[in-house]
Structure 1
Amino acid sequence: MATAYTLKCYECIPEASGTCTDTIKECPSHCAATRAIIYAGGLKLIDVNSKDCVVAEHCIEASANFGLVKTVITRKCCTSELCNTQPAPEPTKSNPNGKKCFTCDGQSCTATLNCEGDEDYCISSKLTDKLPIKSH
């Protein structure tokens, strides 16, 4: 049995070139415009906009700060017909919030990073440069 949705939203999924074309689709609850920005060394490196349907729980903003690289996602949600016409706003400048996490600078991971805005969790990750070995 097919589900009938009544809210119409714009959908715009970016292609590899970074551009996208608005189409109209039916959605269950919320329309959204989303913006993901990646900063490297304080400079904006990537800025991607998209539009789609979302559930209310996904109407959030988020950031991941790795020190040298920071990713910020902003989302503007709405619930009226074709309401997601405008792109999501650029994130506002965040101030340090008093929390700190360790960050790596080269081989050492003992430097501290000042968390900003609503950043309130520290994570640990590991990146290796080993390539898989192919046998012939």
Structure 2
Amino acid sequence: MSWEQYLFLIIYILLCFSAYTLKCFDCPLESAGTCTQSQCPASNYQCAAIRTVAYAGGSKLSDITRQSCVLPEECLSGSINFGVARTVINSTCCATDLCNNQTATDISNTGPNGNKCFTCDVNQCKETLNCEGSEDHCIKVSVTQGSVRITVKGCVSKAFCLQSSSTIGSTGTDISCCQGDYCNSSISTRAGLLLLVAPLIYFIVFF
């Protein structure tokens, strides 16, 4: 075999590997347990099994599982906690064909970790929230709706702080994260409205 043929073979192999995409189980939220096998849209996608558990007022509101192709930056695990509402996500990602064949586990049953942040009650935003699990940062989220600006505060895992930066500006939402007890200390003048919107904030910011 000539060197030209060797070169062509090497280029062909490299092109084949660069174009390879994973095949993953696809079980969307609306599938009612029916899964298909889907080819990921690009070579940088991974297979994922994701579980999202939401709480409101201390009671479990929903427990949703799905399996699909995701980008690496979408493979997040942790929680965001506003006191009145907490959402916990566990993502298990892998890089072989159909490796996401099991549902992700529920990681929401965790206790306080010693970190403390401000949260809001019906009167003000100076109440103490004991952070749980991997919630190692404090968060403040402000949403502008017309002429009204609504702010909520709580605890959050670092992974969600990093991911949220891509949504700022596109949703009318400002997000700030910090590390250290009570570092989200500025006072909101709209605390009375917060209990109405807190369960929705996670979905506004991250979906």
Structure 1 length as normaliser, TM-score? 0.79
Q: 2:116 maps to which residue?
A: 100
Separation in structure 1 between the aligned mates of residue 33 and residue 51 of structure 2, nearest angstrom: 13
Match of 2:49 among 33, 38, 45: 33
* Distance apart, 1:63 and its partner CA: 0.6
Conservation of the 8 A alpha-carbon contact between 2:88 and 2:108: no
Q: Is the 8 A contact 1:5 1:26 kept in 2?
A: no
Q: Flag the structure with larger Rg.
A: 2
Note if 1:22 corresponds to 2:35. yes
Quick check: 1:87 aligned with 2:103?
Answer: yes
AA aligned to 1:62 is: G
SS of residue in 2 equivalent to 1:32: strand
Specify the alignment match of 2:86 in structure 1.
70
- Relative distance call for 1:92 and 1:127 in structure 2 (3 A) is closer
Aligned residues: 130
Between structures 1 and 2, the one with greater helix share: 2
Superposed CA RMSD in Å reads 2.8
Flag structure 1 segments of 5+ consecutive residues without an equivalent.
132-136
Distance 1:55 1:128 in 2: 29
Identity of aligned residues (%): 48
Q: Distance in 2 between matches of 1:39 and 1:70?
A: 5
Q: Secondary structure at the match of 1:87?
A: coil
Name the SS of the counterpart of 1:64 in structure 2. strand
Once residues 57 and 128 of structure 1 are traced to their aligned partners in structure 2, the CA distance between those partners, rounded to angstroms, is 26
CA distance in 2 between counterparts of 1:59 and 1:127 reads: 25
Higher relative contact order (CA 8 A, sep 6+): 1
The Cα of 1:37 is off from its aligned counterpart by: 0.9
- How much has 1:77 moved relative to structure 2? 1.3
Q: Distance in 1 between matches of 2:62 and 2:108?
A: 16
Mean Cα displacement is larger for which, 38-47 or 120-129? 120-129
Of 69-78 and 90-99, the range deviating more from structure 2: 90-99
Contact 1:38 1:44 survives alignment (8 Å): yes
Tell me, yes or no, if structure 1 residue 122 matches structure 2 residue 138. Answer: yes
The residue type paired with residue 46 of structure 2 is H
Q: For 1:48, give the aligned amino acid.
A: I
Q: Which moved more, 1:99-108 or 1:53-62?
A: 53-62
Distance across 2 between alignment mates of 1:25 and 1:122: 38
Task: Give the counterpart of 1:44 among 46, 49, 60.
Answer: 60
Structure 2: which 5+ residue stretches go unaligned?
1-17, 148-207
Q: Distance in 1 between matches of 2:102 and 2:108?
A: 17
Q: Distance in 2 between matches of 1:92 and 1:63?
A: 8
